[in-house]
Structure 1
């Protein structure tokens, strides 16, 4: 996906110029007022303190603090994590992550369609063979691009997970994290994500677009976390990182970086009342996106929304 990048000290990318109404940004060391979470013996039941950014507005952000004992889960692997997300219907829930959960422990090969061959892909779509005038969208299903599409769809189904409303997702015990997953906070209200190391998913099957710019480009999918049409969301004390797969170690194909990462934290499509506090964003290029279109027709749903606070992030 093509993105508008704004190179600023805060490393925040913003688009949706027609609709973006409020962004409060406070960097560590700038003297911003810090607010502690509301006190509670169990950190998993802590809620966002009053006045702690836009996510505290109105009803505030409590996540799964009201969960009963049956809807408190401790998960240690990907299957348990997905089961906890699916269980309980609309009841508030707390999901405690212990250790590192790996969404792609089986490797990229597990998603590849039968017959997919990256070498054949490079051979057919090299600029010398294909040129720069025509994209690959019309390629048939049995072509290298068609097989790439099927492979990408397999990965998409495997690594994306929807976070329900009234959920707290929190790391416990130190070194807690989620690796290779894309957290989808989509069309819901009241979500908390805390104390996790979130390693960016690697797109196993980026698409070559020869018409992207003068030299073509590799386009990747899968944000680490995306807030899409959602309200009252709080990210706190997380580390967003490329971890074992930094761009600096990525190869070059067709003269362009073989890009396998998308965004770390995207807040888009009319999302509102979001606070990101005390997080670390590191080892990544496309870090933060607020609003994902400059177009009048697509950004109109952002008007009056996209109220986001960033404070004490690195």
Structure 2
């Protein structure tokens, strides 16, 4: 298909044509441009106040079509906060050159393993020394290459059914009014996880890089995306020192004073620690009164935990479908410090032997509202079964607020069919 790449050069737009079949050969009836769609009024917390429009009002000179990771970074780096639209065609690979491209001179993974083998180093102290310094330098180089800042007043949108980003990390930090839609986000694979012998009784490998981070930003709409580990699920990762060589972090983090976020019609698939809202119990100075997030019509499929884990925020989670993995499931809703979660009219599909009480997990004493939820097609009082089935984790009823920013609310019996067929990238209507 013919498309153009638009680049701002000073005040002039440079248009580069890419040859291919004529547009007439693929003509379809004209319809609303998804890139200029805005969050409907009343659709979750991101519609509060000024609402969320992203780059809908962008001039033609600030509409960019990109086909490579380098073009994508350049389009987002164009100066100015005037509205912009970045259209992604195909899959952008942030790590096409491979991990070796980020290695600091002298870094040797085999030597790293030899130096910090617990039989040599022990479990009492965090690792340090030349190879750890080189690992950290390598990690810094990867971070610079795969992280990209999304400016204010921006829409990032995939074109068609097969647009996405592999190995990149979108940083929505300290800005207002951002829309991200219709992308398949394959989780970044950390090339240089750190071994921490003091993490738990037997140590752990810790990784960096989330597919998307909303950090201190407001009015963010995340819609019709697919978040996945793709070609590198945890089951494919090796183990060292008896622990999985964990190369994934989260799929979506909403943290550090972020506020007024709506995540709708997304798929979160095949991941462990998936979605975190609020990153620290000690962040009250920045997070208290913020972290207001709406999650609706999302599919959480084969997700182990954090769907989401919540601290501080007033989170409205309704009409989502949770399909637990056949093994390893820990929980869906994590009730954290000063959280006020409302979880209503969701559907849960749990495998045999997993009790409904595991849907909730108590991390701190905080109130929660649960109503109208189904587990394997049957109505279940999630709070009551949790308190009955999980000794020592009694949760309090009543989040203390009533959501009002909802547009479409489906009966929970219809949620699996609707969400499974309509959520995710490539399914914009």
Over 2 Å off, 4+ runs: none
**Residue equivalent to 1:306:** 291
**Residue equivalent to 1:135:** 126
Is 1:77 aligned to 2:68, yes or no? yes
TM-score (norm. length: structure 2): 0.62
Aligned residues: 269
Report the RMSD for the aligned CA atoms in angstroms: 0.8
Q: Aligned runs of 1:69-108 on 2, under 5 Å? A: 69-108=60-99
Cα shift at 1:299? 2.7
**Residue equivalent to 2:192:** 205
TM-score (norm. length: structure 1): 0.85
Is 1:55 aligned to 2:42, yes or no? no
Is 1:125 aligned to 2:145, yes or no? no
1:212-238, Cα deviation, whole Å (9 max, x unpaired): 111111110001000000000000000
Tell me the distance in 2 between the aligned counterparts of 1:97 and 1:216: 40
Tell me the distance in 1 between the aligned counterparts of 2:171 and 2:262: 16
Cα shift at 1:294? 1.2
Is 1:144 aligned to 2:131, yes or no? yes
Is 1:249 aligned to 2:236, yes or no? yes
Contact 1:71 1:88 in 2 (8 A): no
1:17-76, Cα deviation, whole Å (9 max, x unpaired): xxxxxxxxxxxxxxxxxxxxxxx7211000000010000000000000011000000000
Q: Aligned runs of 1:170-189 on 2, under 5 Å? A: 170-189=157-176
**Residue equivalent to 2:260:** 273
1:170-219, Cα deviation, whole Å (9 max, x unpaired): 00022000110010000000000000000000000000011111111111
Cα shift at 1:88? 3.7
Tell me the distance in 2 between the aligned counterparts of 1:299 and 1:265: 21
Tell me the distance in 2 between the aligned counterparts of 1:75 and 1:183: 15
**Residue equivalent to 2:277:** 290
Which of structures 1 and 2 has the bigger CA Rg? 2
Cα shift at 1:115? 1.2
User: Secondary structure of the equivalent of 1:79?
Assistant: helix
Is 1:214 aligned to 2:205, yes or no? no
